[in-house]
Amino acid sequence: MTPKQLEYFVAVAEELSFTRAARRLFVSEASISTQVRSLEREIGCRLLDRDNHHVALTPAGTSFFADTQAILARSKEAVERARATDNGPIGELRVGYIKGYEQSNLGDMLFAFHAHNPNVRLSFMRENVAELYDALKAEKIDVAINLLYQESSMAPLQWVRLRDYPLYAVVPANHPLAHRDAIAMEELAAYPLVDICRGEGGYGENEIIGNTLLAAGLRPHVSYVSEDVETSVLCVAAGLGYALLPGYLTETLPARGKVVALPLKGKEREMHVVAAWLPTRKNELLDVFLDEFLTVE
């Protein structure tokens, strides 16, 4: 019994015609007839009733037809899997990242991973801190590129620190402090704050922004609460107040734009970006990404 015999039989069974089956497979009708008869002899029963006018499946042929279709489908799948494996692993890697971090070297890391693993499907989640960690713990993503907070809040996650960023005060270009090279937090006491939605869990932007304000003894009037860092920049440009934003975002602001990013004294390495994952989540593609393509600076 050969794959060619099975293929010829299935074609005849589907077409119920040797002539149409021959046309479909680009072979002679005599070749198909010979192969099908040889298959019947090997099996030991008739699979087809045929005469000069029609072709029909016998009961044995009907049973064999269903099994043969499944065999050929599995064979095709096996070939496709073998070819895909020869070209690299297959599967999906689900990446979550903090809003604004697409401005960093994250794109370079993912480009390198995709170039070496073209059969792997990449999917993305762009969210705030708390939502990302919640999604990671719920196994909705495989890895989160996110801000690090108190280690007690990170359990049961594992992580590696990628880079430390400064915390900046972003003010309108016409702000009284905009000409300064650096400022102290206390100098912002008289100005309203454009805050960001920080989440309600034990982690979130509360950790750094809240502690920074507290350490400076500031309880600013909050003029607006944004959902993401880009909206915060827009609010600052509109003159609603200042915002406290990480260096991975402020590095991309235009030199002569509508807002200015001012370094905060003592906050030069305040924002710690990590790659975090759930150790119980088994995904070999995650191991490949972490071991070979994650850039730690």
Residue 205 predicted with pLDDT over 70: no
Residue 162 predicted with pLDDT over 60: yes
Quote the CA–CA distance of 121 and 91 in Å, as a whole number: 6
Q: What is the pLDDT of residue 198?
A: 61
Least confident of 81-90, 117-126, 157-166: 81-90
Mean pLDDT across the chain: 87
Residue 236 predicted with pLDDT over 90: yes
DSSP string, the chain: --HHHHHHHHHHHHHT-HHHHHHHHTS-HHHHHHHHHHHHHHHTS--EEE-SS-EEE-HHHHHHHHHHHHHHHHHHHHHHHHHHHHT---EEEEEEEETTGGGTTHHHHHHHHHHH-TTEEEEEEEE-HHHHHHHHHTTS-SEEEEE---HHHHTT-EEEEEEEE-EEEEEETTSTTTT-S-B-GGGGTTS-EEEE---SSSSSTIIIIIHHHHHTT----EEEEESSHHHHHHHHHTTS-BEEEEHHHHTTS-TTSSEEEEEBTT-TT-EEEEEEE-TT---HHHHHIIIII----
Q: In the predicted model, what is the mean pLDDT of residues 19-48?
A: 90
Q: Which domains does the chain have, with CATH numbers?
A: 3-86 (1.10.10.10), 91-163+273-293 (3.40.190.10), 167-268 (3.40.190.10)
Q: What is the pLDDT of residue 83?
A: 67
- The residue among 226 and 297 whose pLDDT is bigger is 226
- Going by pLDDT thresholds of 50, 70 and 90, the confidence category of residue 160 is very high
Residue for token digits 């010979």?
Answer: 34
pLDDT cut 90: percent of the chain above it: 42
Residue 200 predicted with pLDDT over 60: no
Q: What is the pLDDT of residue 138?
A: 92
Residue 204 predicted with pLDDT over 70: no
Q: What is the pLDDT of residue 257?
A: 87
Q: What is the pLDDT of residue 202?
A: 46
Q: What is the pLDDT of residue 84?
A: 63
Q: In the predicted model, what is the mean pLDDT of residues 145-156?
A: 80
> How far is CA 244 from its chain centroid?
28
Residue 177 predicted with pLDDT over 80: yes
Q: In the predicted model, what is the mean pLDDT of residues 78-107?
A: 82
- Going by pLDDT thresholds of 50, 70 and 90, the confidence category of residue 183 is very high
Q: In the predicted model, what is the mean pLDDT of residues 209-235?
A: 83
pLDDT tens digits, 242-296: 999 888 888 888 877 899 999 999 888 878 899 999 998 888 899 999 999 999 8
